[in-house]
Chain A
Amino acid sequence: MNVIMIVYYVISAFLVVMLAWNFVREKKSVNDMILYLLVIIPLVLRILRVK
């Protein structure tokens, strides 16, 4: 695994944390909650090295 690839995994993890934090903070809009989770799915699958 080269350095750039590791950096991309770190960026993905950072985005997952940010999205999760926004999901937790969202109080009203169910649409936004769904949106955060939809965006998280491919990032989590990549970090877990599934797809």
Chain B
Amino acid sequence: MTTRPFREWTVKAALVAIAALFMVFGGAPLYEHRHYQVPVVAGPGVTKVIKLSEFMPGLKGKMADTDIFVLEGKEPGGKALIMANTHANEPEGLLASVIMIENAVVEKGTLLIIPQFDASAGRNTKPGDGYPLYFDIPTEWGQKRFRMGNRDASPLDQWPDPDLYIHYPDKQLLSFADVRNTNRTWPGRPDGPLTEQVTFAAMEMMRKDKVDIAVDMHGAETMFPVTNCIVAPQKSAKIATLVSMTVKATEGFDNHVEPSPSNFHGLSHREIGDFSDTLPFLLEAPIPFLDQPTGPKTVKLLLDGKDPFLLSLSKKKKLFVPYDENGWPMDKRVGQHCSVVLEIIRQYSKKNPDMAVRINGIPRYADLVKNGTGHYFHDPAKAEKKNIHYE
């Protein structure tokens, strides 16, 4: 035995040990994040919880299969579908949907709520952009922890990406990354990529269950023109306009209407309306966290929406929403979503009394701003086990 091979293998062993440490300490938090379960307490209005795979058996057992909370009223009426976490890095929709699941009681009609529409994206993250893995919402009984997800489904569930995503069925060329974006893969197909299977399953649910209204809750940058708005195609425009005017007049916040572009394919507000009888609406609340010229992407920025760079840009009139020292806090964003959803349902119900949906128990904008989002979350430790669902 010579000293040279001994030295060579000592160096190699040391390097392998360092690489293994990188893998363990880098990989373990990501593995834990992907498998972290958020408890949601089904409220008094939840009559059953079903899976999206009931409408597309191919999804069964996959990470993308997701829960649908069904809230049925005693009186028959219309059906409204609420989707959150289509983009899992826009969590105001998720928080609004959990508030609805835990508090809403339906008197007439049916409310269907999907809190993790892109369940794979909800277990993905963006370390390159310094995303936090989790964020905590303060409640009266402690902190409620949520996963911070990503815009796109995880490559662990759908890989590889093509060079270009050719949208089905319109053959429009979209960015390669959009193949994992469930707001570019509508209306989907049963034998397409996983994200297309998810949107196809949702389309099947809307067609088979004859869903009247579908609301897709998002967040958008303050520097992006399509923000703080309701995106609606022609068939939903009347209701969207009435909602916009009503929330401005009665609740004091702006939420203008943006027309859904007829030639931009794959988006929920376009394809749901074109491929079913359902009236689609997409809600955008301003989320400063997603803007590019901000400070560090911290949980604080996600929750309070305060950033000095955006404030400076606001003074130069570079933002598409009013922005001051108060930022754009999460409670305000969640409140907007809750109020706009309730108003869409109310306006639809006024026009279609036989197919009305009447709901109690969901707080509105002013309640959320006053009491905070956490006030409406129920303590899983005090809930009956059968009512706890892990998302």
Contacts and interface: CB of A to CB of B under 8 A. Distances in A.
B8 A40 contact: no
A33 B156 contact: no
B159 A45 contact: no
B12 interface: yes
B156 A23 contact: no
Given A5-B159, A5-B160, A45-B23, A50 B30 contact: yes
A18 interface: no
- The listed residue with most B CB atoms (<10 A of its CB), out of A8, A33, A40, is A33
A41 B23 CA distance: 7
A36 B26 CA distance: 18
A8 B160 CA distance: 7
Contacts of B22: 41
B8 A45 contact: no
A30 B7 CA distance: 11
Contacts of B159: 5, 8
Given A5-B159, A8-B160, A50 B15 contact: no
Interface residues of B, number: 19
Interface string B6-49: 00100110011011001100110011001000000000000000
Nearest to A48: B27
B12 A23 contact: yes
Given A8-B159, A8-B160, A37 B27 contact: no
A37 B18 CA distance: 9
Contact of B8 (A8, A27, A34, A51): A27
A37 B15 contact: yes
A49 B155 CA distance: 9
Interface residues of A, number: 20
A4 interface: yes
Contacts of A24: 12
A41 B156 CA distance: 16
A50 B31 contact: yes
Contact of A51 (B16, B19, B27): B27
B333 to A, nearest CB: 29
Contacts of B23: 41, 44-45
Interface in B317-346: none
Nearest to A24: B12
A38 to B, nearest CB: 8
A19 to B, nearest CB: 11
A18 B287 CA distance: 45
Contacts of B158: 5
B11 A51 contact: no
B19 A40 contact: yes
Contacts of B12: 23-24, 33
Nearest to B30: A51
B23 to A, nearest CB: 6
19 contacts: A4-B160, A5-B158, A5-B160, A27-B8, A30-B11, A30-B15, A33-B12, A37-B15, A37-B18, A41-B23, A45-B26, A45-B30, A46-B156, A50-B27, A50-B31, A50-B34, A51-B27, A51-B30, A51-B156
Interface of A: 4-5, 8, 23-24, 27, 30, 33-34, 37-38, 40-41, 44-46, 48-51
Given A24-B12, A37-B16, A44-B23, 10 more contacts: A8-B159, A33-B15, A37-B19, A41-B23, A45-B23, A45-B30, A46-B156, A50-B30, A50-B31, A51-B156
| Interface pairs A-B: 7 shortest CB-CB | A50-B27, A37-B19, A51-B30, A50-B31, A45-B27, A5-B159, A49-B156
